[in-house]
Structures are given as structure tokens and as C-alpha cells.
């Protein structure tokens, strides 16, 4: 390979790593914005509705741009039903449980629990799909969950029994998203990553509107300006933009390296929680986070198919 070609290759690789890292950090900001919105009196139902409604035009803008460049295959009714289910599990139900859990636990614990998603995918594959798990993967699973327990001890000392409820809700969110990731693996080949994300997000937006109409129809129109601004930033900077960055990174460097770059997510969340929300950082948290990130690194490094916990549409958003 000539020096010029090698330089282009290195630059291509470097840009891909940067995109993946920045995307992971921006995704992590979602929890910070949700916590801030809670301080202004918003509810989880209102926040998820505002987030999806504001993100929807941006998603369809991306779809329109993509459709101009390549032809889209037609879909049958069964495809639409599957995509609607994936939208419910991966974008609506998972996000709603996550928002509910954030009311009771720190953003650091929330991000670490969500970072366990690949382990949940692995366990579902083992118990439901009857796929084998290596000894190293079992060790990584044990270390990862030990790390979560360590961080949970820190939250429980501050929040008491409510920390258990919060962690259970966020873990259920991760389980819901893991189901989405497994189901989307087949659909993305047929539908395409961009179209799958747009259609699934549209289903989520519809469900969130139905939910808020049942819960409090006026809530979407009666929030303070701060909540609208936080929701707009959440929808754009912490949802759509990182999704694009992650997708572009996958095209450049592949899913395994993108997943490894996702290790920046929990780290950035911990420090953003400290700076913005004044959440304490302790050695117990750092130790637990190190265990979880080390376990996930082992899983991704030794299993190229292991998906990222964040939004990798072609493997897999939250």
C-alpha cells in the first residue's frame, strides 16, 4: 500500500473512531437532560412524547435524503407488523422504562445498567435461541453483573430501597432493547438500517402520542420553556445526530470497533452527572464501572457479532 493510500486509510479509520466516540458521548447526554427536565416538573410520559415528536421530522428528513440516493424495496404487511413491534420494544417501551427508572437512580448507574445490553442479548441467545456461550463469555457476564452490584451499593446508600426499583426499571429497559436488537438483525437486511430506524421511530412516536392522550392530553402544550428546550436538545443532539454518527462509523470501521468506542458512554455519563447534576463520584462507582466496561470489552473483542448498547441500527438506539 502506497504512503498516500495508507494515509487516507488511517484518516478514514481515525474519523470513524471519532464519530463512534462522539456518538456514544452524545447518547449519554440523554440521561442528563431527562434528569434536568424532571427538576422542572416534567413526567416520563410527557418527556418521551416530546422527544419522539421532535425527533420524528428529523428522522423522516434523513429517510427522504436516503431515498433520493437509492431505491427502496417494497414491504408486505408482515414486514410492517414486525417493524411496529420492534418500534414498540426498542424505542417506546424501552425508553419509557428508562425514563421511569431515572427518577430513582443516578445517571451513572443508569448508563452502566444499559451498558449490559450485550450480555442480555447473549443470555437470550443462550436460553431462548439455544446458542452456545464460551467459558470466557460466562466469566465476562459474571464480572459485568458484579460491577453493576458494586455501583448499585453506592446508589442504595443514598436513595435506599427506591434505588432497587430504579435499577429494576432500567434493567427491564435494557431487556426490552435487547429483544429489539435480536429482532432487528433479520429485518435490517431486508428493510435497510435507515428505513428500519425511521419506521420503528414513527411507530414509537404514535404510541407515545396515544399514551400522553390517555395520561394527560394537555401536557404536551403546557410545559415550561426549559422542558421544550431540553426535549429539543434530547431529540436532536442526543438522539438523531449520534444515530447518524454511529451509522457512519459502522460503515467506516465496522460494528465491533464502534462497540468498543462505546465504552466512552458510561465514563462520560459519570462525569457529566458530576458536573451538571452534582452527583458524587466515588471510588466504589469507578471500580464498579471499570468491571462492567472490562467485561463488555471482553465480550465485544471475542465476539465480533456482539452489538453495541447504544444505537447501532444495523446491529442496533435508545
What pTM did the predictor assign?
A: 0.88
What is the spatial distance between Cα 197 and Cα 59, in angstroms, rounded to a whole number? 8
Q: What is the grid cell recorded at 141?
A: 457476564
Mean pLDDT, rounded, for 262-270 = 85
Please provide the average confidence, as pLDDT, over all residues in the chain: 86
DSSP 8-state class, residue 279: -
Of 34, 36, 109, 30, the closest CA to residue 270 belongs to: 109
239/3: higher pLDDT: 239
Percent of the chain as helix, strand, coil, to the nearest 5: 80, 0, 20
Question: What is the pLDDT at residue 304?
Answer: 45
SS3 59: helix
Question: What is the pLDDT at residue 5?
Answer: 63
What is the spatial distance between Cα 196 and Cα 202, in angstroms, rounded to a whole number? 10
Q: What is the grid cell recorded at 115?
A: 451498558
Residues in the chain, total: 318
Name the packing angle between helices 117-127 and 135-159 (round to 10°).
Answer: 130
Q: What is the grid cell recorded at 211?
A: 399514551
CA distances to 104, 166, 170, 196 from 35, rounded to whole Å, are 10, 13, 14, 29
pLDDT band at 266; cut points 50, 70, 90: confident
CA distances to 38, 60, 163, 178, 241 from 230, rounded to whole Å, are 10, 21, 25, 27, 15
- Is residue 36 within 8 Å of residue 230, measured between CB atoms? yes
Domain ranges in the chain are 28-302
Residues 6+ apart with CB under 8 A from 302: 134, 136, 137
- Is residue 93 within 8 Å of residue 176, measured between CB atoms? yes
Give Cα 185 distance to the centre of its chain: 16
What is the spatial distance between Cα 194 and Cα 291, in angstroms, rounded to a whole number? 34
Mean pLDDT, rounded, for 90-102 = 95
- CA dihedral 140→146→151→155, nearest 10 degrees, is 140
User: Mean pLDDT highest for which of 4-8, 169-173, 193-197, 248-252?
Assistant: 169-173
Question: What is the tens place of the pLDDT at every residue in 8-24?
Answer: 667 778 888 889 889 98
pLDDT tops 60 at residue 316: no
Question: What is the pLDDT at residue 9?
Answer: 63
What is the spatial distance between Cα 9 and Cα 234, in angstroms, rounded to a whole number? 33
pLDDT tops 60 at residue 69: yes
Mean pLDDT, rounded, for 153-175 = 88
What is the spatial distance between Cα 128 and Cα 113, in angstroms, rounded to a whole number? 22
Cell 426535549 belongs to residue: 231
- Is residue 276 within 8 Å of residue 36, measured between CB atoms? yes
CA distances to 30, 117, 119, 278 from 272, rounded to whole Å, are 11, 22, 25, 9
Minimum mean pLDDT among 5-9, 38-42, 215-219, 236-240: which range?
5-9
Amino acid at each position: 500500500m502506497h504512503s498516500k493510500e495508507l494515509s487516507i486509510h488511517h484518516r478514514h479509520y481515525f474519523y470513524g473512531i471519532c464519530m463512534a466516540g462522539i456518538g456514544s458521548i452524545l447518547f449519554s447526554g440523554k440521561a442528563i437532560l431527562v434528569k434536568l427536565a424532571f427538576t422542572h416538573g416534567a413526567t416520563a410520559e410527557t418527556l418521551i412524547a416530546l422527544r419522539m415528536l421532535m425527533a420524528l421530522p428529523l428522522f423522516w428528513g434523513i429517510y427522504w435524503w436516503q431515498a433520493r440516493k437509492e431505491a427502496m424495496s417494497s414491504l408486505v404487511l408482515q414486514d410492517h407488523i414486525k417493524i411496529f413491534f420492534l418500534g414498540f420494544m426498542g424505542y417506546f417501551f424501552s425508553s419509557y422504562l428508562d425514563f421511569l427508572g431515572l427518577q430513582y437512580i443516578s445517571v451513572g448507574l443508569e448508563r452502566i445498567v444499559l451498558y449490559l445490553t450485550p450480555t442480555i442479548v447473549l443470555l437470550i441467545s443462550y436460553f431462548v435461541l439455544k446458542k452456545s456461550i464460551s467459558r470466557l463469555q460466562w466469566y465476562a457476564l459474571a464480572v459485568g453483573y458484579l460491577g453493576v452490584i458494586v455501583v448499585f451499593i453506592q446508589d442504595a446508600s443514598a436513595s435506599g430501597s427506591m434505588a432497587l426499583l430504579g435499577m429494576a426499571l432500567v434493567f427491564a429497559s435494557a431487556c426490552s432493547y435487547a429483544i429489539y436488537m435480536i429482532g432487528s438483525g433479520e429485518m435490517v437486511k431486508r428493510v435497510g438500517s435507515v428505513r428500519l430506524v425511521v419506521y420503528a421511530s414513527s411507530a414509537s412516536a404514535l404510541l407515545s402520542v396515544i399514551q400522553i392522550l390517555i395520561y394527560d392530553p394537555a401536557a404536551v402544550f403546557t410545559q415550561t420553556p426549559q422542558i421544550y428546550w431540553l426535549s429539543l436538545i434530547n431529540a436532536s443532539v442526543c438522539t438523531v445526530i449520534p444515530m447518524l454518527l454511529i451509522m457512519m462509523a459502522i460503515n467506516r470501521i465496522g460494528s465491533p470497533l464502534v462497540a468498543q468506542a462505546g465504552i466512552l458512554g458510561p465514563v462520560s455519563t459519570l462525569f457529566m452527572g458530576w458536573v451538571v447534576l452534582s452527583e458524587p463520584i466515588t471510588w466504589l462507582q469507578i471500580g464498579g464501572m471499570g468491571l462492567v466496561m472490562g467485561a463488555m470489552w471482553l465480550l465485544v473483542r471475542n465476539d465480533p457479532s456482539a452489538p453495541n448498547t447504544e444505537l447501532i441500527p444495523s446491529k442496533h438506539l435508545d
